[in-house]
Amino acid sequence: MSHQRIPKRKAALAAGAVVALGAAAVLLPNANASQDDGGSGGTAAAPRTLKAADASDLASQLSGLLGDAFAGSYYDAGKQQLVVNVVAGDNNDVVVRAEKAGAAVREVDNSIAELKAGAGTLKSEATIPGTSWAVDPRTNKILVTADSTVTGASWDRLESTVEGLGPGMATLKKSAGTFKTFLSGGDAIFGGGARCSLGFNVTASDGSPAFLTAGHCGVAAAEWSDAQGGQPVATVDQAVFPGQGDFALVTYDDPATEAPSEVNVGSQTVPISGAAEATVGQQVFRMGSTTGLADGQVLGLDATVNYPEGTVTGLIQTDVCAEPGDSGGSLFTQDGLAIGLTSGGSGDCTAGGETFFQPVTTALQAVGATLGDAAAGAGGAGAGDPSGGEGTGAGDQAGGGEADNGMGDAGDGTGAGDADVSGLTQTH
């Protein structure tokens, strides 16, 4: 599969533009409009059929409507329904209101406040490198994961903390891999010996062309080139890592650069119309310069990850594979909505593993940039309520790793991605 270089002064490098795909890539179809059965009148309607993005909007509305009774939600992709957890107690009205709004309702034991309190306990008592936690609304518990480096006294401490949260509050899982940011050497965009994948082209607050990538890429080097050893074409404007996120805004040095909102998946580009919040259960696609296109599901939100470099909060947890070199790459939906930026995780695209992504909405809000339609950019941000996390700035990072940024000339990757973009069906 051949790849054409995009002239920098005519078009900015398409986001995630980097690899020959292992599976044939065809244009992603436009999603059908949501099939709204509509919650009619006075009696509870059957759950509506919704696209994942519409389900996310409904979840936000119900969160405000139900107040303390709202205990999280997730998207049932098979039924195309939003499932809302409620702690109803003696108030059956909250169930009726959620059903009338079109959601499938499930009564659960743990409230959002209780789950957040549990995450706060984990932060204060078990912030151990190689651990992570996120609320899983499908189990109504906190999913706690430890990588292969957590052993001996560290494992005992983590296990004791989880048990101390009480029965039914958390589950503890052991990962075979090691949590790390996905930096690597190779062909893509380069800065100071680092290589990263471009996430999404954006417009900075002053109107200049720019792009988002991972914060740990932004602190690894101040200037980025589209060829190893080449002249810089973009400069880091803002970077956050570790702390309350993993994102960076990088501005193109040439103000005449056109920066289209699209993701290059190899044989064509996917237009990106705006940014959206992730929903647990939602199917997503990731593009990166090492492994190309891969797909999977969102598993958890507001995840805390304890990397060797420090704690990062407010991330999206998924089962989408990634490998070194994919850092900063785009996470998006079949509808062409930007969801996240690749941060890190464990495993690879052979054995699988856990992966974590920076929400695009939060990054846009923090840096004041817009993506796609201006109205769909920073205004859609919902930073969430991170379960703690120290530090807000760029912090120091050992600069030896490499970052990969799909800033331009597509290179040949491993073709490890198995996503069937023709039918947008999940492959694992």
Confidence of residue 184 (pLDDT cuts 50, 70, 90): very low
The total number of residues shown for the chain amounts to 428
Retrieve residue 76's tokens: 């049932």
pLDDT of res. 193: 83
pLDDT of res. 45: 67
- The helix/strand count (H/E) of the chain reads as 6, 23
- Asked whether residue 361 carries a pLDDT value surpassing 70, the answer given is yes
Confidence of residue 140 (pLDDT cuts 50, 70, 90): very high
Which one is predicted more confidently, 329 or 390? 329
Which one is predicted more confidently, 138 or 398? 138
With a CB cutoff of 8 Å and minimum separation 6, the contacts of 398 are 309
Report field, pTM of the whole predicted structure over 0.85? no
The closest alpha carbon to 423, from 249, 295, 316, 287, belongs to 295
Mean pLDDT of the chain: 79
CA angle, 161 then 163 then 166, to 5°: 115
Q: 188-210 pLDDT, tens per residue?
A: 778 888 889 889 999 999 999 99
Residue pair 103/80 in contact by the 8 Å Cβ criterion:
no
Cα distance from N-terminal residue to C-terminal residue, the chain = 25
The closest alpha carbon to 180, from 406, 408, 419, 403, belongs to 403
Which one is predicted more confidently, 401 or 222? 222
The closest alpha carbon to 246, from 369, 325, 329, belongs to 329
Residue 141, phi then psi, degrees to nearest 5: -140, 170
Helix H or strand E segment including 163 = helix 152-164
pLDDT of res. 426: 39
Q: How far apart are the C-alpha atoms of 367 and 378, rounded to whole Å? A: 9
Confidence of residue 403 (pLDDT cuts 50, 70, 90): very low
Q: How far apart are the C-alpha atoms of 14 and 323, rounded to whole Å? A: 20
pLDDT of res. 266: 79
Q: How far apart are the C-alpha atoms of 190 and 223, rounded to whole Å? A: 8
The secondary structure of 61-101 as a DSSP string is HHHHHHGGGEEEEEEETTTTEEEEEE--TT-THHHHHHHHT
Could you list the active site residues? 216, 246, 327
pLDDT of res. 381: 35
Identity of the amino acid at 342: T
Q: Which of 26-40, 83-97, 332-346 has the lowest mean pLDDT?
A: 26-40
- Write out 386-398 in H/E/C secondary structure: CCCCCCCCCCCCC
CA angle, 88 then 90 then 93, to 5°: 65
HSE at residue 316, side-chain half, CA atoms within 13 A, is: 34
Write out the E strands in 122-268.
Answer: 131-136, 141-146, 170-174, 180-181, 189-191, 194-196, 200-203, 209-213, 223-225, 232-240, 247-252, 262-264
> What's the rounded mean pLDDT across residues 42-66?
85
pLDDT of res. 190: 80
Q: How far apart are the C-alpha atoms of 248 and 238, rounded to whole Å? A: 5
Q: 264-314 pLDDT, tens per residue?
A: 887 778 899 999 999 999 999 999 988 999 999 999 999 999 999 999 999
